[in-house]
Amino acid sequence: MSTSAQTPGTGQSSGHAKPDKRTRREIARTAALVVLAILITLFAVFNLDEVKVNYVFGSGKAPLIVVIVISVLFGIVLTYIAERLPRKRRR
């Protein structure tokens, strides 16, 4: 048995509000995220070829998508660190 009381005349529980409809902006954002996810998936599928990677100390082979993802992550980390460094104040 349910312990929640129903609101008279509505047939709905008083503890639950009716969900609002999604706005056009939310729908557009969701659609954009779906399209972006599809593009990223296609990008990964088409970049599975092995490539030669030259490291500072040696070389090796790796799938191109792995090289791209690691490069992007490395760039994000470097950008984050550079933004956190104290800047000299100008007088």
Please give the tally of structural domains in the chain. 1
**Is 3 inside any structural domain?**
no
The range of the structural domain enclosing residue 46 comes to 24-84
Please say if the pLDDT value at position 6 is more than 80. no
- The verdict on pTM exceeding 0.85 is no
**Is 30 inside any structural domain?**
yes
Please give the average per-residue pLDDT across 2-6, as a whole number: 54
Please write the tens of the pLDDT for every residue from 14-64.
Answer: 556 656 688 989 999 999 999 998 998 888 888 889 999 998 889 999 999
CA distance 76 to 67: 14
**Is 37 inside any structural domain?**
yes
**Is 68 inside any structural domain?**
yes
* H helical segments located in the chain: 24-46, 64-84
